[in-house]
Amino acid sequence: MDSEALRKYSALHPKPAGLTLQYGTAGFRTKAEQLDHIVFRMGLLAILRSKAVTATIGIMVTASHNPEEDNGVKLVDPLGEMLHPSWEEYATQLANAEEQELQKVITEICQKAAVNLHKDASVFIGRDTRPSSKKLSQSVIDGIQVLGGQYHDYGLVTTPQLHYMVCCQNTQGQYGKATLEGYYEKLSKAFMELIKQSHCSGESQRHLKIDCANGIGALKLSEMKPYFPQEVLIHIYNDGTKEKLNHLCGADFVKVHQKPPGGLDMKPNERCCSFDGDADRIVYYYEDSAGHFHLIDGDKIATLISIFLKELLAKVKQNFKMAVVQTAYANGNSTRYLQETLKVPVHCVKTGVKHLHHKAQEFDVGVYFEANGHGTVLFSKAAETKIRQLVKEEKDDEKREAAKMLENMIDLINQTVGDAVSDMLVIEAILALKGLTVQQWDALYTDLPNRLLKVQVADRRVIDTTDAERRVLTPPGLQEKIDALVKKYKLSRAFVRPSGTEDVVRIYAEADTQENADALAHEVSLAVFHLAGGKGAPPQP
């Protein structure tokens, strides 16, 4: 390690006094002007991680659905998955080290993680369209060069595209070609093959309006347009030429406010969807003839995909284990529909993509989505091998046809991470193959009315949860109080959990009517305020 170069470059990316940040589920996120030292140091860390695992590591500069003034950075592990939890610790240590301790911290990480500094290292870099992203990715490169690593800068890409590139690179091209063209070709080919198998007369042309949150999704969809068949007519809105990123638009805005984004003119019964700022989340919606807005969130996307996959798996007659993984935020009626009507096992895990992804890996086919529209499907190696073998060798036409559809689904789905572009194509293909309208899809089940609230507390650590965050262990008396409140309402449930990023407690309640869901959420928030050290005035109804 060249101490002189480290000192010199580190001084060019000084750490603001008194600033400490935590590497969370989404990496580091804060105001863009506070991130320069962080991204420089993540360049250093990516090289250490690459040397430790002898593979290419990804670095994405983005703050997803946050406002345009913010930015962030996250690392991508060799198979396109999120950074290993033990290295999240190292990321936090390195980010918060004082200038003069930097070399000492790097040496400690090398010792703890058995990093051989003489090994080669390589990093893939990507960034979103924020004004601050280009300069920050340059700081990443400074960090990489100090420790003498190779890098490839992909420039402007969606977050899932970078995850995809890293996976392709480390599987020696087995997962695909590590180029944008490779990504577009793989997805469009699988999509066209699926659509070709559609026997229904449905609409021959499929119109879809897409709100791209004024972000990277618009650029990449435009690049991908020439790869689509003529039948698919996508209309891009909020393409970033006029308005600010994520401002009054995007998947997060639509989900939270339960209303259409600005900048998109909706006509009754038209199919519309929204990406978030870095295109790793998607939600669908439409307005009915009476002008009512209908949101189709991650729960309903998971349900549609599960119906389709379950039918195909039944046709290929293999003993594949399939399951859906949700968090406590999944609507109760989606869980009921999956378990009781579809007869698909459902597992609940803690909030956060890494928990969902990890659980989904336990099955031959693991479908996971968060209600916010982030999700994907994972196929086990064994299942994938068997399906591809059936396509080649199966004599029975129906079985072979079903296996072929599954094979195309495997190629269309980005298994590394939730991907709005890939998920959109999966949904469009299923709707076409099943001859479903967006209204019929929505009518599979009706969401239970629900309400999300948050209560400010002096210290969020007083709340400790268990059972995938559905029950509270501390403070004493709180869970009993919640149980008593829930008993007052029909079809109701409620849970509370500490925020991962700020001193607030998040509250979720659902019940048979909106009025009851609101009342329950309010009563639970009062209980939290009184028993968990609420700050300021008590919550008002």
Task: Return all residues near 366 (Cβ < 8 A) that are at least 6 apart.
Answer: 322, 323, 324, 325, 359, 360, 377, 378
Check if the beta carbon of residue 366 is closer than 8 Å to that of residue 325. Answer: yes
Dihedrals phi, psi of 320, to nearest 5 degrees? -80, 135
Alpha-carbon distance of 373 to 491, in angstroms, equals: 24
Give the other-Cβ count within 10 Å of 308's Cβ: 21
Alpha-carbon distance of 143 to 6, in angstroms, equals: 8
CA dist 427 → 10, 107, 170, 208, 430 (Å): 47, 48, 28, 11, 5
Q: b/e per residue, 137-156, with b = 16+ CB within 10 A? A: bbbbbbbbebbebebebbeb
Q: Is 498 annotated as a binding residue?
A: yes
Specify whether the backbone of 13 is left (phi greater than 0), alpha (psi in -120 to 50) or beta: beta
Task: Return all residues near 276 (Cβ < 8 A) that are at least 6 apart.
Answer: 64, 65, 213, 215, 246, 250, 251, 252, 282, 373, 420
Length of the chain: 541
Whether residue 160 has a cis bond before it, omega within 30° of 0: no
Task: Return all residues near 453 (Cβ < 8 A) that are at least 6 apart.
Answer: 506, 507, 509, 521, 522, 524, 525, 539
Q: Is 464 annotated as a binding residue?
A: no
Q: Is 276 annotated as a binding residue?
A: yes
Alpha-carbon distance of 426 to 187, in angstroms, equals: 10
Q: Is 2 annotated as a binding residue?
A: no
Check if the beta carbon of residue 35 is closer than 8 Å to that of residue 70. Answer: no
Q: Is 29 annotated as a binding residue?
A: no
Dihedrals phi, psi of 229, to nearest 5 degrees? -70, 160
**Closest listed residue to residue 152, CA positions, set 278, 280, 54, 56:** 56
Report the run of H or E that residue 464 belongs to, with start and end.
strand 464-466
- Residue 288 amino acid letter: D
Q: Is 492 a catalytic residue?
A: no
Considering the candidates 64, 334, 422, 525, report the single residue annotated as catalytic: 64
Within its chain, how far is the Cα of 159 from the centroid?
9
Q: Is 288 annotated as a binding residue?
A: no
Q: Is 499 annotated as a binding residue?
A: yes
Q: How many helices (H) and strands (E) does the chain have?
A: 18, 19
**DSSP-assigned letters across all residues of 430-444:** HHHHHT--HHHHHTT
Q: At 240, list the tokens.
A: 């970033």
Q: Residue 515, exposed/middle/buried by CB under 10 A (0-12, 13-18, 19+)?
A: exposed
Alpha-carbon distance of 308 to 313, in angstroms, equals: 9
Alpha-carbon distance of 261 to 218, in angstroms, equals: 15
Q: Is 497 annotated as a binding residue?
A: yes
Q: Is 500 annotated as a binding residue?
A: yes
Q: Is 311 annotated as a binding residue?
A: no
Using CA atoms of 412, 413, 418, 420 in order, give the dihedral in degrees to the nearest 10: 30
Angle, nearest 10°, between helix axes 36-53 and 133-146? Answer: 50
Q: Which residues are catalytic?
A: 64
Binding residues for substrate: 370-372, 497-501, 506
Binding residues for Mg(2+): 64, 276, 278, 280
Binding residues: 64, 276, 278, 280, 370-372, 497-501, 506
